[in-house]
Chain A
Amino acid sequence: MGVLDAPFPTRARAFPRRRENGEITAARHVDYGLIVLPVLLSLIGLVMIYSSTRLHHGTYYVERQAIAVVIGLVGMFIVMSIDYRKLREFWPLVYVAMLPLLVGVLVLGASRKGAQAWFQIGPLQFEPSEVSKIAVVIAIAGYCHQHRGDLDAWRLAIVVMLAAVPIGLVLLQNDLGSAFVIAVAAVAMLLVSGIRGRHMVVLLLLALSGVIAAVSSGYLAGYRLDRLTTFADNSTNITKNASPTAYNTDMALSAVASGGLTGQGLFHGTQTKLGYVPEQRTDFIFTVVGEELGFVGGAVVILLYALLVWRLFRISLLSSDFFGTLVCMGVLAIVAFQVFENIGMCMKIMPVTGIPLPFMSYGGSSVIATFLAIGLVTNVHMRRFS
């Protein structure tokens, strides 16, 4: 962490020769695990999406998802090729560029299933909230890097604002899940940035009162509250009168539970085949794994995610600068929280929020954005010696 002491990046890195050499060095230090694991998870995701959609839609969804994976990989290599440290200076640009997207989607976006979070571009949908997660990570990392060791209350307030603005915009899109993800990433990065204990307590109290205010003001009414509280209902009776969310989770739960040790066999999951689990190809993709591949398949998938998170963790420690550490921690928080929340919701230990399972859930924006995030972390790893 030689550069830690420099308030700004050294100009030396702008020299072309050094840069060339640096790039060659960097290319030797790619963490292949960080590339192989997402590809592996994406491939498993493609098979699971095919299993849940083949009967009614053939290869339609698989093809679209495969294209997204390819775009994501290309995007990842592009991100890897550009020195991440440039972002230390330009993070405000990234952050500001993100805001019009989040505002625009509120005005121009397509509305679907109670959320207005998509841009409809011809046959494609683009979900800016997925990209905004990374933008917030970069912004907070950039700011905290600049003010490392000097995170007083005012600066903390600025960090909170950096997170709160996109959270607010995302909430206006009715995308509670993404708001959670951003908040968790922000908290994780603040923790690593050296936030003081009492500040943390104040922040948590503020968050708590925010939640109370949301519930009492009626924002969290109807299906939102229902989604958040359904998981707490421990009964295993499936009744027709249950709320739609309770129905979703019960269907998901019994699909996962019917897998047994080794599952019902690929493409042989009864409830998957018959379409019992709503939104299965997107938010509930893990139920296909659970039903068709059983405990073994589910555990392997969780293990792959754990390996991925371990790589992210390792890189955050190896990073040559604090900015890299923070970016890695932010990405780690995003990935780990999404995995835990998504799989947990499929198994009824977490509330239902529209959070995709990284790399596996159907949805191009999420896949591409996560690949970009991984590209950023690989970037940190590549340039740890330069």
Chain B
Amino acid sequence: MTDNSRVRVSIVGVIVVALFGALVARLWFLEVGSGQTFEIRAEQRAVRVLQTESPRGRILDASGKPLVSNKVVWALTMNRNISPASRDAAFGRLAELLGGKNSPQSLQKRFFDPRQSPLRPAILVLNTPESARVAILEHREDFPGIDVHELTVRTYPQGQLAAQVLGYVGEVNGDELKKLHGYVIGDSIGRAGIEAAYEKVLRGKPRQDTYQVDPTGQPVGEPVKTVPGTVGNDVQLSINIDAQKVAEESLGEAIIKARQRQDKSVKDHYAQFQAPAGSVVALDVQTGGVVAMASFPTYNPANFTGGITQDAWKQLNDPNNHYPLSNRATQGLYAPGSTFKLVTSQASNTNGVRPWGQWITDPGFIIIGADKQKLTDANGEVPGPVDLSRALTVSSDVYFYGIGNDFWNIWNANDKNRGNGIQTTAREFGFGAKTGVELDESQGRVPDEQWKQSFAKLLYKNDKAKLLENSQWFPGDNVNLAVGQGDLVATPLQLADAYAAFANGGDLLHPHVAQTVTTAQGAIVERFGRKTVRHIAFDPGTYSAMMNGFLGAVNNPKGTAYDAFKGFPSLIPVAGKTGTAQVNGKGDTSLFAGFFPANNPKYVVAAVIEQAGFGSEVAAPVVRRVMEQLAGLQPGPLQINNTKTAD
């Protein structure tokens, strides 16, 4: 080889040495020099935390019987990483194996349901029949990527009982995932009732498994790290299963019977009561605990297990079905009618409008206001001489119309504070404000001039004459208010709570459905006891006059609820008040609120039934049966009769 060639070959050699040197230098820089940052990033990408929910806590009744508990079902799942071809083949075989409503299409729909986590095997069937489970496990090769494993779901040992109180569980949605911390796709969340109110308590701590994942995000192998979860705590309610059952049965039966009765307020043709809905509330007057809370119509919370079908959801939200999901005991708003006389009586005496001992004559009608409006007692009754007790017993509207009118006159004479006495007392009794119960509730309304003005402003923005006319607080407004009519609305729970405050001597309580939170082992974590919102001071004379009036309504043969309570043991004295509220264009709302034993009150029970007639006819018999159950008696048959006594 010539020297020239040697030089040329050497040039190539030098280039090669330089290139290889560069490789080693780069390798050193990457792996040793600055490797740390790369390493951390590679680590972060390669792992993912999979969160598995722990079983939710149970919901128990006052005696510890489960209302909501958990059961283990066999869930049929399909892996995410199998090929589309073998997936479709498996859908076909599964549909054939499972039969029923399952088609390859329906299984595929479940597989791609966005509510399922893309990181876990998709749940195709929640309740896999035993035969199918065995078939799949025996022929694994025919069902690639298919598995059957245990899954914990909600179960309702008492069926539909207390559905609206308990609420239901659904899968967490996109908005919630953004707002809430610690939830992942596919997690369940309490959607209503106690399930929602005590979500944090019931949910428990999810288990967290850290997996290594491949580039498509699918977990590979066993978890590299596991943080165990904990089962959710139990919530024990003050609800008494037996009383709840009686309340729901009686309410349902009363509504069905009411629908067969003639609505005589419809004069021009024969019509039956619509009675679409109603509710019952029973409270412990000493603790504020809700003992029973029924709302009709109702639904089956088990339909939500594993995701509710669209059809079922549509049904639940169809106006023709009267919204079974809403809890009318806390969300329904009704004019309380004569049951509101509790408030008017107290207001009249604290403001010195008409002392309880003063007798007046009720001729069956009263002329009110400048336009000489004639208002009559219900059903054409002529009660004659009445004092406060008797007015409550026989439900003399004229007695209370007069009080309402007197209050208006005081108000009109510019004694605004005293003139607003009914409203002030109503608010004292908790009307117009949320009770603070754990469940979703409406606020209600106590109308006064201020409210009327702002409401008119909303209604008549551009019509000055109408705005002016409807902004005024007329005598009629105050007179209507005095008998629980007009613009006054309240929830059945507010009504029951107000009567509980009277029954326990003046403590307006914070009603609550939950009593204690306990661990799965039974240790008490939190206790919800009696909580007083405020104390209402009663003048002893007024108090006993009112008590006598409420006792008379039930026990005096002239009392409005006498027929409904005939035969109730006299050793357990019941006191209460019927109510029949007129609703524009609809049948009367039937109401009754009462408590027992009157000498040492323990429970207050209130029933409100829409478009069902007189309070004495439908609501009172329902309350009677619930009281019988609470008093430890065998509840008798529900007696719904046309009574002569009005209101």
Docked complex Cα distance between A236 and B220 (Å): 26
A117 contacts across to B, CB distance below 8 A: none
Q: List 30 A-B contacts (CB under 8 A).
A: A191-B8, A191-B11, A192-B5, A192-B12, A238-B41, A238-B45, A251-B215, A256-B27, A257-B34, A258-B43, A259-B31, A271-B42, A273-B212, A273-B220, A274-B213, A274-B215, A276-B215, A290-B27, A298-B31, A299-B27, A306-B20, A309-B20, A322-B5, A325-B1, A329-B12, A336-B16, A344-B23, A347-B30, A349-B22, A349-B26
Contacting pair B30 A261 (CB below 8 A): no
B30 contacts across to A, CB distance below 8 A: 253, 256-257, 290, 347
- Using A309-B16, A313-B9, A325-B1 as known contacts, say yes or no to A258 and B35 having CB atoms under 8 A apart: yes
Contacting pair A261 B9 (CB below 8 A): no
Docked complex Cα distance between A55 and B46 (Å): 16
- Using A191-B8, A238-B41 as known contacts, say yes or no to A340 and B23 having CB atoms under 8 A apart: yes
Cβ of A9 within 8 Å of any chain B Cβ, yes or no, is no
- Nearest B residue to A270 via CB reads B46
Q: Which of A248-299 contact B (CB under 8 A)?
A: 251, 253-261, 270-271, 273-276, 290, 294-295, 298-299
Cβ of A333 within 8 Å of any chain B Cβ, yes or no, is yes
Additional 4 contacts, C-beta under 8 A, given A270-B42, A347-B30:
A191-B8, A258-B35, A340-B20, A344-B26
Least Cβ–Cβ distance between A142 and chain B, in angstroms: 17
Cβ of A30 within 8 Å of any chain B Cβ, yes or no, is no
Cβ of B6 within 8 Å of any chain A Cβ, yes or no, is yes
Contacting pair A302 B38 (CB below 8 A): no
Q: Which of A291-339 contact B (CB under 8 A)?
A: 294-295, 298-299, 302, 305-306, 309, 313, 316-317, 319, 322, 325, 329, 332-333, 336, 339
Cβ of A47 within 8 Å of any chain B Cβ, yes or no, is no
Q: Which residues of B contact A (CB under 8 A)?
A: 1, 4-6, 8-9, 11-13, 16, 19-20, 22-24, 26-28, 30-32, 34-35, 37-39, 41-43, 45-46, 212-215, 220
- Nearest B residue to A237 via CB reads B41
- Nearest B residue to A314 via CB reads B13
Contacting pair A258 B39 (CB below 8 A): yes
B16 contacts across to A, CB distance below 8 A: 309, 313, 332, 336
- Using A192-B12, A261-B31 as known contacts, say yes or no to A274 and B214 having CB atoms under 8 A apart: yes
Cβ of A104 within 8 Å of any chain B Cβ, yes or no, is no
A325 contacts across to B, CB distance below 8 A: 1, 5, 9
- Nearest A residue to B220 via CB reads A274
Contacting pair B23 A302 (CB below 8 A): yes
Docked complex Cα distance between A358 and B464 (Å): 94
A-B pairs with the 3 shortest C-beta distances? A257-B38, A295-B31, A258-B42
B22 contacts across to A, CB distance below 8 A: 340, 344, 349
A182 contacts across to B, CB distance below 8 A: none
Q: Which of A172-217 contact B (CB under 8 A)?
A: 188, 191-192, 194
A294 contacts across to B, CB distance below 8 A: 31
Contacting pair B213 A340 (CB below 8 A): no
Contacting pair A257 B42 (CB below 8 A): yes
Least Cβ–Cβ distance between A254 and chain B, in angstroms: 5
Docked complex Cα distance between A294 and B32 (Å): 9
Interchain Cβ contacts within 8 Å, total number: 128
Least Cβ–Cβ distance between B621 and chain A, in angstroms: 68
Docked complex Cα distance between A313 and B41 (Å): 41
A259 contacts across to B, CB distance below 8 A: 31, 35
Docked complex Cα distance between A309 and B41 (Å): 36
Cβ of A1 within 8 Å of any chain B Cβ, yes or no, is yes
B214 contacts across to A, CB distance below 8 A: 274-276
Contacting pair B23 A194 (CB below 8 A): no
- Nearest B residue to A320 via CB reads B1
Contacting pair B6 A260 (CB below 8 A): no
Docked complex Cα distance between A267 and B139 (Å): 33
Docked complex Cα distance between A329 and B5 (Å): 11
A260 contacts across to B, CB distance below 8 A: 31-32, 35, 39
- Using A255-B42, A260-B39, A276-B46 as known contacts, say yes or no to A194 and B27 having CB atoms under 8 A apart: no
Least Cβ–Cβ distance between A233 and chain B, in angstroms: 16
Docked complex Cα distance between A192 and B8 (Å): 5
- Using A194-B8, A257-B39, A271-B46 as known contacts, say yes or no to A313 and B220 having CB atoms under 8 A apart: no
A55 contacts across to B, CB distance below 8 A: 220
Most buried by A among B9, B20, B26, B31: B31
Cβ of A343 within 8 Å of any chain B Cβ, yes or no, is yes
Docked complex Cα distance between A188 and B19 (Å): 14
The 8 Å CB contact of A194, one of B5, B12, B45, B220, is B5
Contacting pair B46 A274 (CB below 8 A): yes
Docked complex Cα distance between A104 and B26 (Å): 40
Least Cβ–Cβ distance between A301 and chain B, in angstroms: 9
A188 contacts across to B, CB distance below 8 A: 12
- Nearest B residue to A189 via CB reads B12
Least Cβ–Cβ distance between A344 and chain B, in angstroms: 6
- Using A260-B31, A274-B214, A325-B1 as known contacts, say yes or no to A192 and B42 having CB atoms under 8 A apart: no
Contacting pair B13 A313 (CB below 8 A): yes
Contacting pair B9 A317 (CB below 8 A): yes
B24 contacts across to A, CB distance below 8 A: 299, 302
The 8 Å CB contact of B38, one of A1, A254, A316, A339, is A254
Docked complex Cα distance between A339 and B21 (Å): 12
Contacting pair A332 B12 (CB below 8 A): yes
Docked complex Cα distance between A340 and B9 (Å): 18
Docked complex Cα distance between A347 and B35 (Å): 12
Contacting pair A1 B20 (CB below 8 A): no
Contacting pair B212 A270 (CB below 8 A): yes
Contacting pair A192 B31 (CB below 8 A): no
Least Cβ–Cβ distance between A204 and chain B, in angstroms: 14
Most buried by B among A192, A238, A251, A257: A257
Most buried by B among A192, A238, A271: A192
Least Cβ–Cβ distance between A57 and chain B, in angstroms: 14
Least Cβ–Cβ distance between B35 and chain A, in angstroms: 5
- Nearest B residue to A295 via CB reads B31
Most buried by B among A251, A261, A298, A333: A298
Docked complex Cα distance between A271 and B35 (Å): 15
Contacting pair A270 B43 (CB below 8 A): yes
A299 contacts across to B, CB distance below 8 A: 24, 27-28
- Nearest B residue to A190 via CB reads B8
A316 contacts across to B, CB distance below 8 A: 9
Least Cβ–Cβ distance between A1 and chain B, in angstroms: 6
Contacting pair B23 A343 (CB below 8 A): yes
- Nearest B residue to A306 via CB reads B20
Contacting pair A275 B215 (CB below 8 A): yes
B31 contacts across to A, CB distance below 8 A: 256-257, 259-261, 290, 294-295, 298
B8 contacts across to A, CB distance below 8 A: 191-192, 194
- Using A192-B12, A275-B214, A329-B9 as known contacts, say yes or no to A1 and B1 having CB atoms under 8 A apart: yes
A290 contacts across to B, CB distance below 8 A: 27, 30-31
Docked complex Cα distance between A188 and B10 (Å): 11
Contacting pair A347 B27 (CB below 8 A): yes
A302 contacts across to B, CB distance below 8 A: 20, 23-24, 27
- Using A192-B9, A260-B35, A316-B9 as known contacts, say yes or no to A305 and B42 having CB atoms under 8 A apart: no
A332 contacts across to B, CB distance below 8 A: 12, 16
Docked complex Cα distance between A236 and B27 (Å): 16
Contacting pair B41 A254 (CB below 8 A): yes
- Nearest A residue to B39 via CB reads A258
Contacting pair A253 B38 (CB below 8 A): yes
Least Cβ–Cβ distance between B162 and chain A, in angstroms: 49
- Nearest A residue to B38 via CB reads A257
B9 contacts across to A, CB distance below 8 A: 192, 313, 316-317, 325, 329
A261 contacts across to B, CB distance below 8 A: 31-32
- Nearest A residue to B13 via CB reads A313
Docked complex Cα distance between A185 and B90 (Å): 55
Docked complex Cα distance between A255 and B23 (Å): 16
Least Cβ–Cβ distance between B119 and chain A, in angstroms: 15
Contacting pair B42 A254 (CB below 8 A): yes
Most buried by A among B4, B27, B37, B39: B27
Least Cβ–Cβ distance between B31 and chain A, in angstroms: 4
